[in-house]
Amino acid sequence: MADPIVWKTAWITGASTGIGREIALQLAARGVKVAVSARSAEKLAALGPGLMAVPLDVTDASACQAAVDKIEAQLGPIDLAVLGAGTYTPVAIDRLDPGQFSRMMDTNYMGVVNCIAALAPRMMARGQGHLSWIASVAGYVGLPKAAAYGPTKAALINLGECLYPEIKLKGVRVSVINPGFVETPLTAQNDFEMPFLMKADEAARRSIDGLASGRFEIAYPRRFVAILKTLRALPYPLFFRIIARSVLKAG
């Protein structure tokens, strides 16, 4: 970790498992006061002492406001937020469930929006702070089985692009974290080969390094990111042919 830690107080949502959990633990180990949120109070308690547990359903906008009030009253101004609460289930194309799409949008996208709405005005009033959220390289291109998940992550990337120019003028940084495949309870549902699969602790380390450097986009692993961004630039006939052969294993 080459870049120094500059934050005093951090708030991590989706902190009970996966990348969010590891980011919370690594920041706390480096002396940052960390508040952790997730729906499960039991899983937050299992993170151990030294972290402030704030159980939260991010789909509840008023609860997000109350969480920020509570954290800042006890720990002081939040100068880093890593909004990582999210959900994923593969889409079965022969059994499309609109509720599945709605639930994912409510949690993955609106959950981030609710937290930003609670925190951004405070950061802008102070003229400093760092807002970040975990999107995904799945937001770059449409992929099979990700019809409910991918669009939420594409929306989060677009959200960052929309907010960055204006909020920067108020002294607040914005970063979007785009991981590839990471070993978490969510990706454990996948029944297909996941290229460049990473451990959650390594993903957290790369995320923290990118945040400390102030980058807008923090994307990893590099080779997988390069492949997907190249695919995005291809004409659609060629793009769909490659997806069919490499992902669907079609002739």
Q: Which residues are catalytic?
A: 149
Answer for the pair 89, 46: CB distance below 8 angstroms, yes or no.
Answer: no
Angle between helices 111-126 and 150-169 (to 10 degrees): 10
Answer for the pair 228, 139: CB distance below 8 angstroms, yes or no.
Answer: no
Burial status of residue 50 (CB atoms within 10 A of its CB: 0-12, 13-18, 19 or more): exposed
DSSP secondary structure of 21-84: HHHHHHHHHTT-EEEEE-S-HHHHHTT-TTEEE----TT-HHHHHHHHHHHHHHH----EEEE-
Question: Encoding tokens for residue 66?
Answer: 């109350």
Length reported for the chain: 251
Residue given tokens 């699969």 in the structure block:
197
